[in-house]
């Protein structure tokens, strides 16, 4: 079959990968010179630790698919690094203990470590904490490298063409297939069209699917200079328990009822997530903003808080912050929804709304769509 995929982010590229590796031909259109949305601005954390029971099988499958992709395409930078969520209060410790004691803790790779064992697993953590929840299943990829690397791999198959700086203007179902007209006047014929617009909920997306049950969420992150020593795992703080649905339960409810350790963290719905890049620097996030219109400027106060927390947990000064940025992703309004798929016509689908789990779940969402459509 021949597919036209509109959108060059992680969902569009994951669908292209699923289709091409099953023997189909794909033309992918991206309105920017390269994908510049949330996919490229992500932490690069493949996160099993924060998923719900209902999502666990799907998340583990996606993590396995990322590992397989990393074997085929080493330049995506896949690393099975795991993560440690460090706790500093009794309420946070109760959530970590509950997670480590759950019946499916082994599937998550959960183990509760005392400070001495935390430092055995992660010698760079020399700061203040009372315990750490280790998740061996978490992993990382290089978010800025992954999409170009996947496109290069797909191009080498001879069944994939990428058109950058190309905006789809019109999609029409022809009865036996569909056509896409771009802003260069070209028309692409396809058996199927998959529109993966990311956070672009208006324009062509609204024309095809109307109002979808999704919302836009803004986040801020930062990048440091090289740390000078390896982080053997990704690192999170206890505020992560407040924002990850996988930790829901009475212990998390009691934690949520407490004031976060810093008012700024509550104000910006913050959690510390820290992933080391292959060049040694740290990507650190992040904030969540839900009410539009979003400010066009980044706010310094969250960065100062993230720096303070990271330095307290590491027990050392962070390297200089060399980049700060904001991004906007598309998330479902239903927390239980993994992704929003809308059939716009017989041969046209709109797929968005994976939220901040888009990078984690991208490969499995692409594979599930391929199964659904009989590819």
Each residue's pLDDT tens digit, 101-141: 999 999 999 999 999 999 999 999 999 999 999 999 999 99
- Would you state the structure tokens that stand for residue 350, as one six-digit string? 């709109």
In the chain, beta strands by DSSP E: 2-6, 25-29, 45-46, 83-87, 110-113, 131-135, 139-140, 160-163, 168-173, 178-182, 187-190, 192-195, 214-224, 234-237, 273-276, 282-285, 321-332, 340-345, 348-352
Each residue's pLDDT tens digit, 203-230: 999 999 999 999 999 999 999 999 999 9
pTM of the model: 0.96
Q: Which domains are assigned to the chain?
A: 1-80+140-213+337-375 (3.50.50.60), 83-136+214-332 (3.30.9.10)
Q: Which residues contact 168 (CB under 8 A, 6 or more apart)?
A: 6, 29, 31, 180, 181, 182, 183, 195, 204
Each residue's pLDDT tens digit, 85-105: 999 999 999 999 999 999 999
Give the per-residue pLDDT at 152.
97
């Amino acid at each position: 079959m021949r597919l036209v995929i509109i959108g060059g982010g992680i969902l569009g590229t994951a669908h292209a990968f699923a289709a091409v590796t099953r023997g189909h031909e794909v033309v992918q259109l991206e309105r920017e010179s390269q994908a510049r949305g949330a996919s490229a601005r992500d932490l690069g954390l493949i996160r099993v630790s924060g998923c719900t029971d209902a999502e666990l099988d799907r998340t583990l499958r996606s993590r396995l698919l990322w590992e397989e992709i990393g074997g085929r395409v080493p330049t995506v930078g896949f690393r099975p690094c795991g993560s440690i969520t460090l706790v500093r209060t009794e309420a946070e410790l109760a959530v970590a203990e509950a997670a480590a004691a759950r019946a499916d803790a082994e599937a998550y790779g959960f183990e509760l470590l005392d400070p001495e064992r935390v430092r055995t697993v992660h010698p760079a953590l020399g700061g203040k904490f009372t315990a750490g929840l280790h998740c061996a299943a978490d992993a990382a990829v290089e978010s800025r490298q992954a999409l170009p690397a996947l496109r290069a791999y797909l191009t080498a198959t001879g069944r994939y063409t990428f058109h950058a700086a190309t905006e789809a203007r019109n999609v029409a179902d022809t009865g036996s297939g569909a056509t896409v007209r771009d802003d260069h006047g070209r028309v692409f014929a396809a058996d199927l069209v998959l529109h993966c617009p990311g956070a672009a909920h208006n324009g062509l997306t609204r024309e095809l699917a109307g109002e979808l049950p999704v919302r836009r969420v803004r986040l801020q992150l930062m990048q440091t200079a090289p740390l000078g020593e390896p982080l053997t795992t990704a690192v999170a703080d206890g505020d992560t328990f407040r924002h990850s649905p996988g930790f829901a339960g009475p212990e998390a409810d009691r934690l949520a009822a407490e004031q976060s350790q810093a008012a700024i963290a509550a104000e910006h719905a913050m959690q510390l997530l820290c992933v080391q890049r292959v060049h040694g620097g740290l990507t650190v996030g992040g904030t969540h903003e839900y009410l539009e219109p979003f400010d066009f400027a980044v706010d310094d106060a969250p960065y100062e808080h993230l720096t303070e927390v990271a330095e307290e947990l590491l027990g050392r000064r962070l390297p200089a912050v060399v980049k700060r940025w904001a991004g906007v992703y598309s998330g479902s309004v239903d927390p239980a929804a993994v992704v929003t798929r809308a059939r716009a016509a017989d041969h046209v689908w709109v797929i968005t709304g994976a939220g901040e789990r888009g990078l984690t779940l991208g490969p499995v969402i692409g594979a599930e769509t391929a199964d659904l459509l009989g590819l």
